[in-house]
């Protein structure tokens, strides 16, 4: 359904009619008619029938193969941002839950709230600006706007990681907070079990809910990927997706959109499988 709606949006008529009013005054009008829309849909379907797929580039390279090169480049940003957000977010979330009633815990919560309110593209621009100033004052020079250097993925990956990281921290701490009210926690503490062992049990029971947030983390990353790649001049699949949309290249846009959607689907699938494995079994029927 997402793919169909995406294609239908791309196929909306974008032709612009420019008319001269007088002198150097012109009027531009976007015409939309059902007939034009049907023609675009028909041409799209006809193209797939003729090409028997997505077709090839002007150089004769299959579009899917052409896309894979950009996808590999984008995965250098997406995979580190996703794994670090997930792992570090869970670890810091457990720590925040442990110190939640202390001054340090309340301060960390406040800092998390502040950083969680900053858009990732603003953070990225700020990092670029600060590094530019630092390089003017003697900091080693390096390329900030490229996808060809080995280090080009680092700053975009960090920028994409911040919001999902603090979301994961908040969700981990909140999920464990819910578990505190369960009967088994009071029973374990009453029997003399140490706080750390109880904490391990709480996290074990909250694990399935926490891991279920993985697709939300990836969704945050993928939704911000095109604009971050554009700002960094990082020529990955997100950058190419934006360029295809701006240039009204419908086939190319679909080709560059599909891998992002498939990646999200795979993570949702793994999250559901993990949830099924780790979720405590229902024993109400016993």
Q: What CATH number is attached to the domain comprising 244?
A: 1.10.3720.10
Q: What is the dihedral of CA 237, 238, 242, 243, to 10 degrees?
A: -30
Q: Which pLDDT does position 283 carry in this prediction?
A: 42
Q: Which of 100, 13, 4 is nearest to 45 (CA)?
A: 4
Residue 278 has pLDDT above 70, yes or no: no
Residue 188 belongs to a domain: yes
Kindly state whether residues 94 and 173 are assigned to the same domain: yes
Indicate whether 72 and 47 sit together in one domain: no
- Count structural domains, the chain: 2
Q: Can you give the pTM of this predicted structure?
A: 0.81
pLDDT value of position 171? 85
Query: Do residues 43 and 78 share a domain?
Result: no
- The pLDDT tens digits of the residues spanning 238-272 come to 999 999 998 888 899 999 999 999 998 888 888 77
Q: What residues contact residue 30 under an 8 Å CB cut-off, 6+ apart?
A: 13, 14, 15, 16, 17
Each residue of 257-279: b (16+ CB within 10 Å) or e?
A: bbbbeebbeebbeebeebbeebe
> Could you tell me if 7 and 37 are in contact, meaning their C-beta atoms sit under 8 angstroms apart?
no
What average pLDDT does this structure show over 10-28? 77
Residue 62's DSSP bridge partners are 56
For residues 70 and 38, membership in a common domain is answered with no
User: 56 lies in a domain?
Assistant: no
Query: Are both 42 and 110 inside the same structural domain?
Result: no
3-class DSSP state for residue 79? helix
Residue 180 belongs to some domain of the structure: yes
Task: For the chain, count helices (H), then strands (E).
Answer: 11, 2
Taking CA atoms, 277 is separated from 28, 57, 90, 178, in Å, by: 58, 44, 19, 21
Mark whether 106 and 30 lie in a shared domain. Answer: no
Strands 16-22 and 25-30 come out as antiparallel
Q: Which of 71-75, 76-80, 114-118 has the lowest mean pLDDT?
A: 114-118
Residues 73 and 171 in one domain: yes
Residues 172 and 42 in one domain: no
Mean pLDDT, range 55-70, rounded to an integer? 87
43 shares a domain with 7: yes
Residue 43 sits in the same domain as residue 132: no
User: pLDDT category, 286, cuts 50, 70, 90?
Assistant: very low
Picking from 41-50, 204-213, 237-246, which range would have the lowest pLDDT averaged per residue?
204-213
* Full domain range(s) for residue 220: 63-278
Say whether both 178 and 242 belong to one domain: yes
Report if residue 113 sits inside a domain. yes
Same domain, 169 and 210: yes
Summarize the confidence of residues 4-18 as an average pLDDT: 83
pLDDT band at 79 (very low <50, low <70, confident <90, very high): very high
């Amino acid at each position: 359904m997402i793919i169909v709606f995406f294609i239908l949006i791309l196929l909306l008529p974008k032709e612009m009619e420019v008319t001269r009013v007088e002198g150097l005054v012109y009027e531009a009008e976007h015409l939309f008619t059902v007939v034009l829309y049907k023609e675009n849909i028909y041409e799209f379907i006809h193209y797939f029938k003729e090409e028997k797929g997505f077709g090839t580039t002007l150089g004769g390279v299959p579009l899917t193969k052409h896309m894979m090169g950009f996808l590999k480049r984008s995965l250098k940003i997406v995979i580190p941002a996703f794994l670090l957000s997930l792992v570090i977010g869970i670890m810091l979330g457990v720590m925040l839950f442990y110190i939640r009633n202390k001054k340090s815990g309340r301060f960390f919560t406040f800092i998390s709230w502040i950083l969680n309110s900053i858009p990732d593209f603003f953070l990225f621009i700020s990092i670029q600006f600060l590094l530019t100033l630092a390089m003017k004052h003697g900091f080693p020079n390096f390329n900030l706007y490229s996808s060809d250097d080995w280090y080009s993925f680092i700053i975009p990956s960090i920028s994409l990681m911040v919001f999902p990281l603090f979301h994961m921290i908040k969700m981990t701490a909140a999920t464990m907070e819910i578990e505190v009210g369960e009967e088994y926690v009071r029973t374990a503490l009453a029997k003399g079990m140490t706080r750390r062992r109880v904490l391990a049990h709480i996290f074990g029971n909250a694990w399935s809910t926490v891991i279920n947030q993985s697709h939300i983390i990836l969704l945050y990353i993928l939704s911000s990927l095109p604009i971050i790649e554009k700002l960094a001049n990082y020529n990955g699949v997100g950058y190419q997706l934006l360029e295809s949309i701006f240039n009204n290249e419908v086939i190319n846009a679909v080709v560059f959109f599909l891998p992002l959607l498939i990646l999200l689907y795979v993570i949702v699938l793994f999250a559901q499988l993990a949830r099924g494995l780790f979720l405590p079994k229902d024993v109400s029927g016993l």
